[in-house]
């Protein structure tokens, strides 16, 4: 099997495109780069590409992962160069390796490392930051998720304790804070960066605006999906 997996970035303007848009972008890039990719069978054959846990719209990333199957092997560096010559400026392949992994990238994704740069309406006290951090780590917070099932609206209360592996809030100058966090992003449960913002707001932090970046996606051993 010629399965190749790799790491790529999705920054700046590309934070506005969805998971599905990213897939289409990759499929067309692969064709422009003349990568000998394998196609699916059926009425509308498409290049076989899969990704790690989807990134929400509006969030940048320097640690996304793809996997594709090739008809024949090409050198990894050639692959990277070919792809990068056709990808947009704000999306670049960083690494690529051949793999025999049976498990999909989706199944391997368990945690995501985020950095959030947050602007506040007013300055915040260091001690309050400590209290909030401790509370989130030791007790977790409760969030409400609303789902629409047909015409019924289902509300679900979730405690975030098991969904946050690590959180560190740093106070910066000029009414700004920086949050580093490792959040669960797996098919069996996940916490979105937006929801973390909600938790911080709920804890009394007056957030005006934030920018989020996913630094990496980690497996259950907390290792990056591609080393």
Partner 1 sequence: MINKKQLDRILLNVEKPARYVGSEINSIIKNKEDVDARFVFAFPDIYEVGMSHLGMHILYNLINSRENIWCERTFAPWIDMEEEMRKNDIPLYALESKDSIREFDMVGFTLQYEMSYTNILNMLDLGNIPLRSSDRNDELPLVIAGGPCAFNPEPLWEIIDLFVIGEAEEVFVELLDIYINEKKKGYTKLKFLEKAAQLEGVYVPQFYNVLYNNDGTIKERKVINEAGKEIISKRIIKDMDKVFYPEKAIIPYIDIVHDRVMLEVFRGCTRGCRFCQAGMIYRPVREKSVDTLIQQSEKLVNATGHEEISLASLSTGDYKNLPELACKLLDKYESQRIGLSLPSLRLDSISYDLIERIQKVRKSGLTFAPEAGTQRMRDVINKNITEEDILSSVKSAFDLGWSTVKLYFMIGLPTETEEDILGIKNLAYEIKDLFFKRPKEKIKGNLKITVSASCFVPKPFTPFQWLPQNDVEQFYSKAKLLSKEIKDRKITYNYHDPKLSYLEAVFARGDRKLSKALIRAWEKGCKFDGWGDKFDYNKWIEVFEETNISHEFYTVRERSFDEILPWDFINAGVDKEFLIKEYENSKLEQTTSDCRQGCKNCGINKKIARGIC
Q: Which residues, 6+ apart, have CB-to-CB distance to 195 below 8 Å?
A: 143, 160
Rounded Cα–Cα distance for residues 7 and 216 (Å): 9
Interacting residue with partner 1 among 11, 76, 80, 90 (CB under 8 A):
90
Site for partner 1 contains 197 (CB under 8 A)? no
Q: Are 114 and 217 in contact (CB under 8 A)?
A: no
Interacting residue with partner 1 among 1, 75, 85, 88 (CB under 8 A):
88
- Residue 224 DSSP code: B
Site for partner 1 contains 17 (CB under 8 A)? yes
Size of the site for partner 1 (CB under 8 A): 28
Interacting residue with partner 1 among 62, 74, 80, 86 (CB under 8 A):
86
Interacting residue with partner 1 among 161, 187, 189, 209 (CB under 8 A):
209
Region from 28-36, 72-80, 120-128, 141-149 binding partner 1, contact rule CB under 8 A: 28-36
Rounded Cα–Cα distance for residues 198 and 187 (Å): 21
Site for partner 1 contains 29 (CB under 8 A)? yes
- Residue 16 DSSP code: G
Interacting residue with partner 1 among 4, 8, 9, 30 (CB under 8 A):
30
Question: Which residues ranging from 40 to 69 are in contact with partner 1 (CB under 8 A)?
Answer: 43-46, 57-58
Q: What is the 3-state secondary structure (H, E, C) of 45-113?
A: CCECEEECCCCCCCCEEEEEEEEEEECCCCCHHHHHHHHHHHCCCCCCEEEEEEECCCCCHHHHCCEEE
Binding site for partner 1 (CB under 8 A): 12-14, 16-18, 20-21, 24-25, 27-32, 39, 43-46, 57-58, 86, 88-90, 209
């Amino acid at each position: 099997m010629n399965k190749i997996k790799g790491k790529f970035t999705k920054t700046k303007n590309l934070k506005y495109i969805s998971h599905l848009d990213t897939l289409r972008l990759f499929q067309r890039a692969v064709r422009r780069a003349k990568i000998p990719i394998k196609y699916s069978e059926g009425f509308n054959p498409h290049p076989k590409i899969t990704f790690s846990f989807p990134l929400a719209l509006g969030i940048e990333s320097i640690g996304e992962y793809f996997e594709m199957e090739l008809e024949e092997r090409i050198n990894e560096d050639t692959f990277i160069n070919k792809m990068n010559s056709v990808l947009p400026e704000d999306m670049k392949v960083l690494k690529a390796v051949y793999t025999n992994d049976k498990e999909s990238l989706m199944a391997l994704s368990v945690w995501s490392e985020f950095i959030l740069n947050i602007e506040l309406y007013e300055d915040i006290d260091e001690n309050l930051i400590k209290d909030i951090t401790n509370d989130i780590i030791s007790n977790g917070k409760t969030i409400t998720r609303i789902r629409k099932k047909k015409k019924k609206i289902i509300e679900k209360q979730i405690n975030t304790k098991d969904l946050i592996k690590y959180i560190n809030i740093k106070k910066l100058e000029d009414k700004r804070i920086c949050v580093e966090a490792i959040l669960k992003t797996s098919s069996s449960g996940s916490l979105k960066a937006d929801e973390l913002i909600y938790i911080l707001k709920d804890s009394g932090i007056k957030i005006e605006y934030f920018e989020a970046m996913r630094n990496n996606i980690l497996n259950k051993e907390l290792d990056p999906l591609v080393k």
